[in-house]
A and B are shown apart, each in its own frame.
Chain A
């Protein structure tokens, strides 16, 4: 079992923050998710805990506001030290269609200028790489994706838009991602994904989990419209590949 120097600190009256070295790394992320599984396993009496993983931290929130910090810290450290390799929760690579037509990719021409790359090459690079989900937050179903190639790093827009459409796929700094709902936003929009990343009517409202991977593929307008309808009526078949742990 890999082991990192973790720190455990109180975070207000009902949360505990567990931190790993502040580096974006898949092995740290997987260690966090593995520890999170061990906590769920070892602390069955604490079913009212919520666990929020992101990049190099895991936040444990007790919805009953009953945390005894020093006792829990000790138990968590014991759990981290003594956990045994076990079958981790399944992780998936999700292949998501994106229509990069200029109608959706409203900043694609500007991005192509900033990066000194042709639009075709921007799309090629964006769809070629596989991104890891390092966190979900900001909006319900908004994924923080790591692994953007350096060539696609684009500064955030100086003036954010008041409304970015649902499904918009954007670039900002070292990040790429999909807006799960209409929202204000400062990312450069290069396309639109017809698949809803968040659906409050489903028991699991967001099929993506932290630790999963996402790869985009370019789709034309006709396919985009078809997938959009399939998503709306609930018959779209998500293209996923189970990842080896």
Chain B
């Protein structure tokens, strides 16, 4: 078991998603930066579906109540084990009583912590991904006890990996969305030439962008949306839906992010800049 001494800003348990319930309005959920969480799992030779901890902006303080092995990937948040710095993208051993804490955010926005065997919180609708009201909690809380397996011996096949610094990238690859043709030539110029700023309204549901690209009055019938769908509001605001995003929407879906670009965006925070780069189907 792992005990939460301090939860950090917003820390959740996430696996690779909740599938099969989108027709009942249930978002897919899962790790925002799927690439980083997969690396953490593979360093520990976990299953791809094992749950990791997603740590946003400010990290938690966690106490191991059993021996385990762990790996940290994604955003660099100056992690320490019993006060001694630990490298990301490496397998580390934790003993009972060890305290893992996080310091300053150096880069990125979301860090992933995987333990050998994964975090064993309740499975709800076939996934452990936190999402209220499907799971009881929306994030970890002080004094919460999170079940994990006990591992005393483990020789990793790969002890460390070079960190793939893709979260420093700022270019998002975008396909045409279903309502792409709504864009005027002027809007397209703005869209592909300008930089866009991440608004303070950014979370696991959606990232809003600050710059407006022109109002429209197009009306459409509600249709499905996906993680990575870029919606254009009547006021001309761009909203990029993320893993906890609603499954249907009535705003035009003008662009669709490449899957890797969802992971890049997940490492962006308020004030960061991004650009769009068109790709063809």
**Interface, chain A (partner B; CB < 8 A):** 9-15, 17, 19, 22, 24, 48, 50-57, 59, 61, 63, 65, 69, 134-142, 144, 180-181, 198, 200-201, 205-206, 209-210
Contact = CB atoms under 8 A, between A and B. Distances in A.
Interface string B57-83: 000000000000000000000000000
Interface string B116-145: 000000001100000001110000000000
B14 to A, nearest CB: 15
A22 B24 contact: no
Interface in B35-58: none
Interface stretch (B15-23, B85-93, B269-277): B15-23
Given A61-B22, A140-B24, A181-B133, 16 more contacts: A11-B226, A12-B226, A12-B258, A12-B259, A13-B175, A13-B256, A54-B248, A61-B224, A136-B23, A137-B247, A138-B246, A144-B222, A144-B248, A198-B133, A200-B135, A201-B124
A50 B257 contact: no
Contact of A200 (B20, B22, B133, B258): B133
Nearest to B126: A203
A65 B133 CA distance: 28
Nearest to A48: B19
A22 B218 CA distance: 13
A136 B223 contact: no
A166 B226 CA distance: 25
Q: Which among A48, A50, A206 has the highest number of chain B CB atoms within 10 Å?
A: A50
Given A12-B256, A51-B23, A54-B222, A140 B134 contact: yes
Contacts of B175: 10, 12-13
B125 A205 contact: yes
A210 B26 CA distance: 14
A200 B10 CA distance: 23
Nearest to A22: B221
A52 B19 CA distance: 12
A15 B227 CA distance: 11
Contact of A17 (B23, B134, B224, B247): B224
A56 B22 contact: no
**Chain A binding surface, main DSSP class:** loop
18 contacts: A9-B178, A11-B253, A12-B226, A13-B175, A19-B178, A48-B19, A52-B224, A54-B221, A54-B224, A59-B223, A61-B226, A63-B19, A136-B25, A136-B247, A137-B225, A138-B248, A141-B24, A205-B21
Contacts of A142: 25
B106 interface: no
Given A54-B222, A200-B124, A137 B246 contact: yes
B249 interface: yes
Given A22-B220, A136-B23, A141-B24, A13 B258 contact: yes
A137 B25 contact: yes
**Chain B binding surface, main DSSP class:** loop
Nearest to B173: A13
A165 to B, nearest CB: 13
B228 interface: yes
Interface of B: 17, 19-27, 124-125, 133-135, 175, 177-178, 220-226, 228-229, 246-249, 253, 256-259, 281
A122 to B, nearest CB: 25
B6 to A, nearest CB: 28
Contacts of A59: 223-224, 226
B233 to A, nearest CB: 14
B103 to A, nearest CB: 35
A14 to B, nearest CB: 7
A15 to B, nearest CB: 6
Contacts of A48: 19
Given A11-B178, A12-B256, A13-B258, A137 B133 contact: no
A57 B223 contact: yes
A63 B259 CA distance: 12
Contacts of B22: 50, 52, 61
B248 A52 contact: yes
A205 to B, nearest CB: 6
A30 to B, nearest CB: 16
B259 A141 contact: no
Given A139-B246, A205-B125, A198 B259 contact: no
A94 to B, nearest CB: 14
Nearest to B26: A140
